[in-house]
Structure formats: C-alpha cells, structure tokens
Amino acid sequence: MELLEILVLVVSFVVLLILGVPIAFSIGIAALLTMLVSIAPEPAFTTLAQRMATGLDSFALLAIPFFILAGQLMNRGGIATRLIDLAKSLVGTLPGGLAYVNIVACMLFGAISGSAVAAASAIGGIMNPRMVKEGYSRPFSAAVNITSATTGMIIPPSNILIVYSLASGGVSIAALFVAGYIPGFLLGFVLMLVAGVISYKKKYPVGDRTSLREVLRKFLDALPSLLLLLVVIGGIIAGVFTATEASAVAVLYTVILSMLVYRQVKVSDLPDILIHTAITTAIVMLLIGTSMGMSWVMSYANIPQAFSDALLSVSDNKIIILIIINLILLFVGIFMDMTPAVLIFTPIFLPVVRELGVDPVHFGIMMVMNLCIGLCTPPVGSVLFVGCGVAEISISKVIKPLIPLFLAMVVALLLVTYIPALSLWLPRVFGL
C-alpha cells in the first residue's frame, strides 16, 4: 500500500504539472488522490480540508503578510533608487562597476524587502537600462540582476525562513535570521567575483571616481532605509519583540519612511498597495495550506520514514548524504516553487540530517540557498521570468551568461553545506 500511495502521489503531481495546472492546485489534488487510495471519499475531503486549515493556524505566519506589505511599500517608496546610488558610490569605480552596483543594490533591497521578485523588479527596472546605455550586454545585465536578487531570500528578514521554521517544527526564527547574514553576503561576494572577471574580459567600462563627501551624502540619504534592518533584526535579537511583531514594526517604519520622509507614496496609492499585498498573500497562503496538507498525507502514508531509511541505506556518511540531498533539491527547485518545496521536503530530509548530527539552523540555510538556484531556472523560476521581463529579453538569450553565475551559486552552496560555521557562528555569538 505504501508503494502504491507513493506512486499515486508522484505520478498525479507530475501529470498535473505537465498539464499546466497551477502548483498549489497540483499539490492539493495529488494529496487528495493519495488519500483516496486508503480512505473513503468523505473523510478524505474533510481531513485534507482540516489539515490545510490547521497548517495555516500559526502565529508565526502572521509575519508573512506584514513583510509582504512592507516590501510593497518599499517598492513604491523610492528606496531602490537610493540604495542604487549608495551602491554606485561604493563600488561603481571598480572594473565592471555597474555589475557590482546591481549585485550590491539587490542584496540591500532584497534584504530590506525580503523578496527576490521585488528586488529583481525594482533594481532591474533601474539598472538594466543604465547598464545597456553604458555598453554592457543586455543578457549579461539581466543575468546579474536575476541571480543577485535571490540573496534577499537568505539575508534577513526572509519569509521563506519563517516557512522553514514552521515546517521544521519550531526552529528559532531569530536564529535563522541571524544565520542568514554570512551565507547571504558570501553568495553576493562570489557573484561579484564572477561578474568582475566577465566584465574585465569583456572590457566593460569603469565608472567615475566618487569623492568621500559624495559617498557620505549617498549613505546618509539611504540611511533611513538601512536602519530598517537594524530596527527589525536588532529588536528580535535584543528580545524587544518576536519575528511576527517585528514584521508589524517593519510596516509601520516603511509607512513613515515612504510617506513622510521620502514622500514617494501618497494616501491614494495605499488601496492599490493593499490589493497587491492581499493577492500575493493569498497565493502564498494557498501554497502553504496545500503543502501542509500534502506533508500530512506523506506522514500518514509513512513516506518520510521510508525515504529516510532508503537514504541512510545508501550511506551513513554525512558528506555523501548532503550531496544527495543537495542534488535532489536542485532538481526539485527546477519544477517547484520555494514555499511548497520547503514545506514538503523539510519533514522528509530534516530527520535524516538530524540523525547525522547536522544542526537544523544550518540545514535550513543550506536548503533555502539551494532552492534559490531554482528561482533562476526554467520552467517555473519566478525571478528568471521577472528579470527577463524587466530587461525585455527572451529567456533563451539569458541562459548563456547565467551559466557562470549559476556555477558561482553552486560553489557558495557547497561552502555553506560543508562549513557549518558560516551559518552557525553568528547565532552562537548572540546566544540564539
């Protein structure tokens, strides 16, 4: 029966994806069909509905709509322009300076907004025309924007780390947030390294030298935006408020910043911002609900235990197991969005790595960094589609310049996987 349930789950899910059924509905339908193998229709429908509702009944998930709203306000509030100006004053004079500016600005904006798609859209919309005007190739500028936008999923605050905390059974959100800093900066650094080499070989232009006075002026202009990170993460670490309460503080801060300080958002803009926030939240919550339903179905069918036994029968070597898990997640990331992937595969892989002595915080950062690569790959890579749309270029033309940047992301992933201190040093310093 267990094998039959696995077959029904996998085959139905894959067929639905091939037919173009939206991912949330594919997950829910596949979970329901799997339940119908061993449960009568009426209790199957009732149980799945209950599990979906129960999965959403979490105080920690309240942070997601608040962070989404904060990201929407930032996107409209003129923050992207100020972060780009700051990044240009810092790294614009280096060879291939605008590529560095793109990466640094995406890291800053992604960290503040917590959204890779928002970073690709906001920063890409400004940087791509600038880079093309300065002589950079359009495919290269799009590739840099697409890959660097994913750093915002690792550098806190990050919605996907909140989702991982839920899926893992309560790993500290504060510890996950703090753990994301060094891996996020590492990812940005390796992308800058590769972009710099490509820019040097292609002889892309170098920006004008910026005076110290100008750097200071740009920094002070962007400082109110950067302080959001200090307020949110500092408040969580200091124990002033929880991650959920921090998300509400982030909304209040961005409202004041975008409406009163920068004056880029008007009261008349708020209904549209709230509608976009509600739509995005609904999509994310539907994904979470159906994914939690599927996760329960897999537990009911004893699939995680069977998978764990099968994986540990291959090897009990931590290095080998982590390679296998990374390869599986890289494959999964190509076809599945991050949220359902984290919710479905965390209960499967976390018991395995725990048995091998891997810290859940370290594994969470590794998993999210791995799935970030999938955001940049077809056929479901949301950041890839947004980045190409903003750059007004086809996906086929971006693939070639993406490859070396992909390899840089894989190198960063391997470093984070096999050097746990990159993820765990900061949480230990702060006693999290």
Checking if the pLDDT of 57 tops 70, the result is yes
Give residue 2's pLDDT band: very low, low, confident or very high (50, 70, 90): low
pLDDT in tens, 111-154: 777 778 777 887 888 888 888 887 888 889 889 999 998 888 88
Task: Look up residue 413 and give its two tokens.
Answer: 């992933």
Q: Which of 72, 78, 20, 409 lies closest to 258 in space, CA to CA? A: 78
Summary mean pLDDT of the chain: 84
How high is the pLDDT of residue 67? 82
Neighbour count for residue 285 (Cβ, 10 Å): 18
- Tell me, what's the pLDDT at 369? 93
Task: Look at residue 419 and tell me whether its pLDDT is greater than 90.
Answer: yes
Dihedral, CA of residue 70, residue 76, residue 82 and residue 84, to nearest 10: 90
Asked if 108 and 87 count as a contact pair (C-beta separation under 8 A), the reply is yes
pLDDT for 92: 67
Model confidence at 423, pLDDT cuts 50, 70, 90, reads very high
Mean pLDDT, to the nearest integer, of 312-324? 86
CB atoms < 10 A from the CB of 428, how many? Answer: 13
Query: pLDDT per residue over 170-208, tens digit each?
Result: 888 889 989 999 999 999 999 999 988 888 888 877 766
Q: Write down the pLDDT at residue 208.
A: 67
DSSP run (H or E) holding 309: helix 303-314
Distance CA 266, CA 47 (A): 45
The tokens for 146 are: 């697409």
pLDDT band for position 417 (cuts 50, 70, 90): very high
User: Which pLDDT value is given to residue 186?
Assistant: 94
The answer to whether the peptide bond before residue 379 is cis (omega within 30 degrees of 0) is yes
pLDDT greater than 60 at residue 1: no
Position 298 pLDDT exceeds 60: yes
Q: Which residues have a Cβ under 8 Å from the Cβ of 213 and sit 6 or more positions away?
A: none
Q: What is the pLDDT of residue 359?
A: 93
In this predicted model, which residue has the larger pLDDT, 183 or 304?
A: 183
Give the per-residue pLDDT at 217.
84
Q: Give the pLDDT of residue 121.
A: 80
pLDDT at 211 over 80: no
Query: Span 8-37, mean pLDDT?
Result: 86
Q: Taking 70 as the threshold, does the pLDDT of residue 287 lie above it?
A: yes
pLDDT range class, residue 366, cuts 50, 70, 90: very high
Mean predicted confidence (pLDDT) in 373-391 = 82
Q: Which helix (H) or strand (E) holds 137?
A: none
What does the pLDDT read at residue 48? 86
